[in-house]
Amino acid sequence: MIPRDYSFRGRPQNYRGRGGRGNIISQIHGKKLVAENISGVGESSTSQKGNSQTFANILQENEYDDSINYAENQKRKVILHLEYSDLKWQDEPWFLMNRYIDNTQFTATSYKQRNFYENLLKATESCEITHFASNDQKSYTFSKIIVKKIFSYQEWGLSTFKEKDYIFSEKNIAIKFNYWDYISAFDKILYYQNNKKKHTWFIKICGEVYKSPIPNWSVNWWSYHGPSYEILPEKWKTLYSEWIDLSPQISKLITSHKADELIASMHFFIEFSIPWISKWIPIVGYTEHQTPCLYRTSFSKFWEKMNKVDPSSGKLFGADTEELIQT
């Protein structure tokens, strides 16, 4: 188990991190996306239609898919193993995905597609998930996930294979799953992709997950999907370094080689509920045994709104979070 209060800086163990200010979700080119203008913002919602106030119309395509600002995650996950005859398409990884898994995002049993895992996380109240549809309503342009709870083995019960029933009230359906489905859900819901191959996720893990010890498998999840402190702007990197110095438990673990920068970054982003933007692409590569395979590689970047000025207050949207880190 990961300790629930890693920093030991006088905060209660059920401390909730904060991020941003007010109910303005984003401001781009002087236009604001305000929570009350979107039904379901802050709630579990399946889809949001485009209108004059949504991200879909405010954002320009090259603004939410600016590859220059993304950092590549060096840890990749195998999607499927390829045959040598497939290498004639090694420069067309999307074609290989479509060829073998029929326009889905991952190999799965027939009844456990992405929606199954998404409904699972909603039914357990582990996450709030919102999708923002394109103008033609045929696909999602981008999505938002806010993680509020991560169940551990102990909380689940003695048998991790024991199935539980949850009633998903949003669709009035019963969902049956075990703990291994629950772990898989945090991976597989992030594998959605639209037909332009430009879908992105807004991800935030709230500090309230520290109400219970975080299971260690979440470190493995972070190694594939979580950002490094390297994506932080210079001012935020300074805040990160100061936080390390003021967090003796983290410093001690790093010095003794019982923890690394990955774990430190993970706790920094979670403790202060710092959001990031994530996307993924497939690439053709080789395993350690030099057999060809199709990998999934994730990219992440800092949510730039944190450094934007709120015109109503004259302060940065991330000012409260900066102050919180410094206290």
pLDDT in tens, 68-111: 689 999 899 999 999 999 999 999 999 999 898 865 676 656 56
Q: Quick one: pLDDT at residue 37?
A: 32
List Cβ neighbours of 178 (8 Å cut-off, separation of 6 or more): 160, 161, 162, 163, 164
Query: What range does the domain containing 306 cover?
Result: 24-73+109-279+301-326
Instruction: Kindly state whether residue 90 falls inside one of the protein's structural domains.
Output: no
Q: Quick one: pLDDT at residue 66?
A: 53
Least confident span in 16-30, 94-108, 137-151:
16-30
Instruction: Kindly state whether residue 43 falls inside one of the protein's structural domains.
Output: yes
Tokens describing residue 233: 């702007």
Instruction: Kindly state whether residue 87 falls inside one of the protein's structural domains.
Output: no
Instruction: Kindly state whether residue 148 falls inside one of the protein's structural domains.
Output: yes
pLDDT in tens, 146-181: 999 999 988 887 788 888 887 766 667 777 899 999
Stated pTM of the model: 0.77
Mean pLDDT highest for which of 15-19, 153-157, 161-165, 297-301?
297-301
- DSSP three-state, residue 11: coil
The Cα-based distances of 39 to 20, 115, 130, 298, 313 in angstroms read 20, 20, 10, 30, 25
Instruction: Kindly state whether residue 7 falls inside one of the protein's structural domains.
Output: no
| Cβ neighbour number for residue 281 with a 10 Å cutoff | 16
| Amino acid, res. 6 | Y
Q: In whole angstroms, give the CA distance from residue 233 to residue 28.
A: 19
Instruction: Kindly state whether residue 125 falls inside one of the protein's structural domains.
Output: yes
Instruction: Kindly state whether residue 286 falls inside one of the protein's structural domains.
Output: no
Q: In whole angstroms, give the CA distance from residue 308 to residue 177.
A: 42
Q: In whole angstroms, give the CA distance from residue 290 to residue 276.
A: 34
Number of folded domains in the chain? 1
Instruction: Kindly state whether residue 78 falls inside one of the protein's structural domains.
Output: no
Tell the burial category of 50 from Cβ atoms under 10 Å away from its Cβ (0-12, 13-18, 19+): middle
Q: Quick one: pLDDT at residue 256?
A: 66
